[in-house]
Amino acid sequence: MIGVGPARTAEIAARVEAFVRNVVAPYEKDPRRDHHDAPTEELIAELKEKARAAGVLTPHILPDGSHLSQRETALVLRMSGLSPLGPLACNTAAPDEGNMYLLGKVGSPAVKERFLEPMIAGKTRSAFFMTEPASENGAGSDPMMMKTTCHLDGNHWVINGRKAFATGAEGAGIGIVMAKSTEGACMFLVDLPDPAIRIDRIPNTIDSSMPGGHCVLTIDNLRVPADQMLGNSGEGFTYAQVRLSPARLSHCMRWLGACIRVHEIATDYANRRMAFGKPLIDHEGVGFMLAENMIDLKQAELIIDWCADILDTGSLGTVESSMAKVAVSEALMRVADKCVQIMGGTGVTQDTIVEQVFREVRAFRIYDGPTEVHKWSLAKKIKRDWKALHA
């Protein structure tokens, strides 16, 4: 990707940062929340309208439809992540951001007009249906275990199966469904809601930033027109790989922004709070934690930028994004945990966003592949490389 250059990127990022800090952050105490404490559709719509008026709605996709480079996106999405509500307001949240990237890369002109353009305009949300219930031994970290099936019936594909952790499915207008045919994995675009897709339950989870929750659902004879399949039958995993690394890295970008913010909150607290005759920051136990946070935040920023540069060469970046996902999620967990600890009792209350970000980042260590799965994948590469050298 060529991108728009450092000056233009800095200008976009600065506008996003100002909007999130000055307009979005005050909404963090807005009571419009659902049973899961996630923001309601009404609240999201209000924030999106403010973002549209401020010129920061979907800021990583330019008016001509072109996409910022991954390195440029890293800075912009980091700024949108300074509040848990920021990505929703700016239309840079998962799974929409990853779905927009995928359709922008592989969608036909008709698919882009019907499905992508409303998403870029912030007129609808989307969901990605791949993970299946663990209790039924369905696909999770191992997508090869997929049980959801599809078969061709005339000019429609018929899909049956169960899905879990379908983030944002309730309230979404567009879905991307993965299923397997006799040729292999397939990927379909569907309009939502559809009576053939039944939400069975929405479990409460440790995180609460995603509208619509993480749904468990049943797909019962869903009929999808053949022209709404991405590519050809059996090419679903190929398209999933196009989406995988950039979407995984985008999570890192957004949560880095959130942890920069909670580090700021904890720093302010440590400088103002007096204990045992001096500010908390002057106690080594606290000052050293803040210093360690500074190191972890910078290392997270650098590995994100390194991985983004790899993706910008056109590489799938599978290995690099696994390395980044492990390093960033673990580093940000340390940062968020230290911020809670520094703030003591205040840190575990909802008086600030520190408590929420701690919960969100804990979930991030599992979402988009648990740390252990990525390490296992990297270990397999190390073994392959060793065998190649000693063949």
| DSSP bridge pairs for 28 | none
Give the global pTM.
0.96
pLDDT in tens, 291-317: 999 999 999 999 999 999 999 999 999
Give mean pLDDT, residues 252-262.
Answer: 98
Give mean pLDDT, residues 362-367.
Answer: 96
Q: What is the pLDDT of residue 36?
A: 87
Give mean pLDDT, residues 190-204.
Answer: 97
| DSSP bridge pairs for 150 | 159
Q: What is the pLDDT of residue 2?
A: 63
For the chain, which residues make up each domain, given as ranges? Answer: 6-93, 127-234, 237-383
| Residue partners of 337: CB distance under 8 A and separation at least 6 | 358
Taking domain 237-383, whether its CATH number is 3.90.1170.10 is answered by no
pLDDT in tens, 11-58: 999 999 999 999 999 999 999 999 889 999 999 999 999 999 999 999
Nearest to 65 by CA among 7, 6, 112: 112
Query: Average model confidence (pLDDT) for the chain?
Result: 96
As given in the structure block, the two tokens for residue 137 are 């031994």
Reported CATH class of domain 127-234: mainly beta
- How far lies 228's CA from each of 123, 124, 157, 289, 296, in Å? 20, 18, 9, 51, 43
The separation between the first and the last C-alpha atoms of the chain, rounded to the nearest angstrom, is: 37
> What is the 3-state secondary structure of the chain?
CCCCCHHHHHHHHHHHHHHHHHHHHHHHHCCCECCCCCECHHHHHHHHHHHHHHCCCCCCECCCCCECCHHHHHHHHHHHCCCCCHHHHHCCCCCHHHHHHHHHHHCCHHHHHHHHHHHHCCCCCEEEECCCCHHHCCCCCCHHHCCCEEEEECCEEEEEEEEEEEECCCCCCEEEEEEEECCEEEEEEEECCCCCEEEEECCCCCCCCCCCCEEEEEEEEEEEEHHHECCCCCCHHHHHHHHHHHHHHHHHHHHHHHHHHHHHHHHHHHHHCEECCEEHHHCHHHHHHHHHHHHHHHHHHHHHHHHHHHHHCCCCCHHHHHHHHHHHHHHHHHHHHHHHHHHHHHHCCCCCCHHHHHHHHHHHCCCCCCHHHHHHHHHHHHHHHHHHHCC
Give mean pLDDT, residues 68-90.
Answer: 98
Give mean pLDDT, residues 167-174.
Answer: 97
Binned at pLDDT 50, 70 and 90, residue 92 comes out as: very high
Give mean pLDDT, residues 249-266.
Answer: 98
- Give yes or no for residue 367 having a pLDDT over 60: yes
* C-alpha span between 305 and 56 (Å, rounded): 22
pLDDT in tens, 204-249: 999 999 999 999 999 999 999 999 999 999 999 999 999 999 999 9
Give mean pLDDT, residues 76-85.
Answer: 98
pLDDT in tens, 118-136: 999 999 999 999 999 999 9
Q: What is the pLDDT of residue 1?
A: 53
Q: What percent of the chain has pLDDT over 70?
A: 99
As given in the structure block, the two tokens for residue 133 are 């219930």
